[in-house]
Structures are given as C-alpha cells and as structure tokens.
Amino acid sequence: MELSFPDGFLWGAAGSAHQTEGNNVSSDLWALENGPGGPLPERSGDACDGYHRWREDLDIVRDLGLTSYRFGIEWARVEPVEGRISRAALAHYRRLVEGCLERGLTPVVTLHHFTSPLWFQQEGGWLSGEAVARFRRYVRAVLPILDGVEWVCTVNEPNMLAMVASMMKQGKREEGVAGAMPPPDPAVADALAAAHRAAREELGTAGVKSGWTVANQNFEAAGGAEAERDAWAWPREDRFLEVAAGDDFIGVQAYTRVLVGPDGALPVPDGARRTLMGWEFYPAALGNAVRYTAARLPGVPILVTENGVATADDAERVEYTRGALAGLHGAISDGIDVRGYLHWSLLDNYEWGSWRPTFGLVAVDRETFERTVKPSARWFGGVARTGVLPAGAVHEEMSPA
C-alpha cells in the first residue's frame, strides 16, 4: 500500500562541515587526525572538497526533487583564533544560505557538529569556565548571515559529544554502537546544555527556530530488564531530550537499536544483519525513536535531521530507507508532529576516522571529487517529489525511468 506524507513536509539530505569540506586545519579534530600516533586510522584531508563544490552539491539536491539541505557552519573557520572572526568564512557560509534559497531549498543549519576550534580545546574545551561565553560569542558572530534561515541546530548529538569526552578521560576507544559507550561526562553534558540555552537565547532575538539534535539509540529491554534499560537510557539520551523542552523543535537522529540486559548493553544478536558500521540493520529504529521522543517532549515539533544506513549495496539502502519511512509514516498517522526527513547523508563522506562506511546518496571519487548520483538517490527523489512512499519491489522501484 502506498503511504502519503503531509503537504509541506521537508524532504532533504544532510552533511556536516568537517566531513565534507576538507582541510579544516584550525579544528581540534584536524589536529587529532594529523598528530603523531593519533588514534584515527584515516584522516579527512581534502574530504569531499565540499568547501569549493557546494554549488554542484546544491544543484544535485534540487535536481533530485528534494526541498531541504542540512549543512554545518564550522566554528574553527569562523573563529580560527580566539576573538578573531573571519569575514571571509562568514561570507562563504552566507553564500551557502543564499544558494539554498535561490534553488528553492530550505536550509537547515548546524552551528556545532562535533568539531571545535583547536584553541577552544587547548583552553579547556567544554570544561573551561569560559566555554559557554565563547560559544555565545560565536553564535552572535554567525547571526547576521542567518537571514532567511528558519531551522538552526545549535549542537549536533550532545550526548555523543559527552560520551566521547567520558571515553577519552578513561583512555578508551569506541567499540560497537554509540549506545553501548560509557555514560556521558556529567560536567561536559551540563556545559553543552548551558551552551545550547545560550545559543537559543541569541537565535531567539532574530526570530530563528532553534533546537538541538540527539543521537537516539532505541534502547530495548532484553530478558525483562526494563528497569536496567531505563537506568541505562537516562544519562545517555533522556536527560538530553529533557533539555529540549520548550525548544522550537527537536532533531531526531536514529540508525539502529541497542539491547539492554541486566548487566548493561548487549552485543548485536548473533546472525543479525549488520551495516558497514557493524550496527544491526534495523529500519524500525526511526519510527521507534520518533515515538519515544514525542512521548518525552509533548508539544515540541520533531525534525528528522539524520537517518540512513552504511552499505555498499544501493538496493539495501532503498530497503532500509523505505522501512524507516514506513515507520515514520506510522508515527505521523498517530498524530505525532513531524516536520521533515533529512537523509544521512548526501555524500559518501568522512566518517570520523574512516572512509569505509558509505552512507551517501551520492558517491564521491576520492581522487577527482567527481559526484555520481546513485539509484537510491533517484528513488528517494521520487518519494520527495510525490510525497508518496511506493509499495513496489525494490528492484522495480530502482529501475531507471
């Protein structure tokens, strides 16, 4: 059965600055990637050269029939040295905003997507007593270029940021899915919440809708471990959702699920399908995450700011996305206020230490940066143009028109 989505629903694709632009040389992650004995197996380098090829990328989004594009403003480019704002960087990102508007695309702008200026990190990062004031100053610098932007994500996945901070403090590296990581560093979590509120105040003065995005992990109880699941979920997800109460929207970002037993998170079940990230192939994650979020934030509109699958099989990408959208449609049909769906990601980009996991609707040649639109992108564009999720077999839907 075909499933119809509401009129005015945003259909788009997403990316982040560091993962696509290339040569983010003033950032903390660039220093980590390029330092001696660094923990990351691969470096971002030129990435997708998106800093220069953004026009081509926006043309692809428009030509596919999508109506929205999510991109990041890189703090390390805007303020490469503390207190010194780059007018050229601001002008660049303003051109990106205008490029979206000229093409009829709704820009969704992210102010902080994991990376910070290296100087910020060297001055204590989020644990510095000046962190919130520094972030507020950055937001004020960016405000003038946000004219015409309705949706601004202040901080991307603050729960992930705080979990990584905890992991680095313990000298551990991430293994498995994010929800199985150590609990977030409480002080970092508090600082991020304060930074979000400060940004929300600044953005509100300009009439800009703001919210932050949370990595939703779909914690499921195994073996009757409901109490353990709830205890596991509170520091890793729920406390970050609570911060969004009263926001203009909440960004839902869901990919898979995490099973929780009496002793904590469990490994992916034996025999389960896995993605290139090693996560369980679980399209139902999106609908579940939207319902979970809506139950905890009544009255706060939801924007799906990320959902997708790391796979080398494009038919599998369509299969996953169709399953995710079917679950999303069910949530909308039950009255949940969902404003749009942004697929992660537009491009096959740098995945925080590795180029192997390919999430993109568009392939990127690592030598020439040539973009190649995949069949899954054209399938998704068809959904966006019609607002209807088709019911045919995957191979039939992916056949060229």
Task: Please list the active-site residues.
Answer: 157
Concatenate the DSSP letters of all residues of 137-169 into one string: HHHHHHGGGGTT--EEEEEE-HHHHHHHHHHHH
**Could you tell me whether strands 371-373 and 209-216 are parallel, antiparallel, or unpaired per DSSP bridges?**
unpaired
Contacts of 378 (CB under 8 A, 6+ apart): 64, 398, 400, 401
Count of Cβ atoms closer than 10 Å to residue 130 Cβ: 12
Q: Are 350 and 358 in contact (CB under 8 A)?
A: no
Burial class (CB in 10 A: 0-12, 13-18, 19+), 87: exposed
Q: How far apart are CA 278 and CA 266, in angstroms?
A: 14
**In which residue are the tokens 């003038």 written?**
144
Q: Which two tokens stand for residue 123?
A: 């001055």
**Amino acid residing at 371:** R
